[in-house]
Amino acid sequence: MSGAAHRLAGFDLSGKAALITGASRGLGLAAAQGLAEAGASVWINGRDRAALAAARARILAACPSAQVEPLPFDITDEAARADALERIAATAGRIDILVNNVGARDRRPIEAFALDAVRGLLESNLVAPFDLARGAARRMPEGGRILNIASIAGPIARPGDAAYTMSKGGLDALTRALAAEYGPRGIAVNALAPGYFATEANAPMAALPEHAAWLAQRTSFGRWGAPGEIAGAVVFLCSPAASYVTGQTLAVDGGYLAHW
């Protein structure tokens, strides 16, 4: 094998079993497609069966040889989380990759938050990833990968978004804690911090000329990210090519955090 071929082989995920939460659309779907195109068998999670079927069809249209299975469950349901992990392990014999992508958002001033709403958001954005990570790790061989989808809202903040910022900052911290916990077992744990991506959820904002003008000034690349642009970073951090990377949060934000 030539040197170049050997380096490219480091990104090959053939034979790997991966679970991606929140994969029916947006960044989760892009992540799932990237992993499938790299050779992984992917289980795509969401609550809407029809949306998962459409996501599966989209992945197969791009990569007909992909192994894609829908796995509908609510990640805030503890029993459903455990059952999903057991189903994957029973089929594949293990879980090699977990991508914690689901992230609820509730924009409102701090004084407008009832504590139950805060607890609900933390259950989705922090408690569920914690539990899925430890459940997946029990079924992970050496070389396993856990990837948390955090946010640029982790290290920075703005008014009216406190609960989300708190949860994503906690996810960054959880990433470091899991890296320390599972490193001795050869499991790498990292996070991605996406910036402004033109996903379905952001479509109303992406359609505003004034927001495009603001991003043109605020980011190094001067534009929204396309959802597919997250896939390369996902594949890298889930692949053998990133064998000595753990406990890190990589911003995929078009230079938002670096740009003054």
Q: Which residue numbers are catalytic?
A: 164
CB-based contact 133:178 (threshold 8 Å):
yes
CB-based contact 189:247 (threshold 8 Å):
yes
In angstroms, the Cα distances linking 35 to 4, 12, 81, 246, 251 are: 21, 9, 21, 19, 19
Residue 205 burial (CB < 10 Å; 0-12/13-18/19+)?
Answer: middle
Residue 170 CA from chain centroid, whole number: 15
Q: Where are the beta strands (DSSP E) in the chain?
A: 17-20, 41-46, 67-72, 97-100, 145-149, 188-194, 249-252
Distance CA 185, CA 215 (A): 42
Distance CA 163, CA 117 (A): 9
DSSP one-letter code for 144 = -
DSSP one-letter code for 125 = I
Count of Cβ atoms closer than 10 Å to residue 221 Cβ: 15
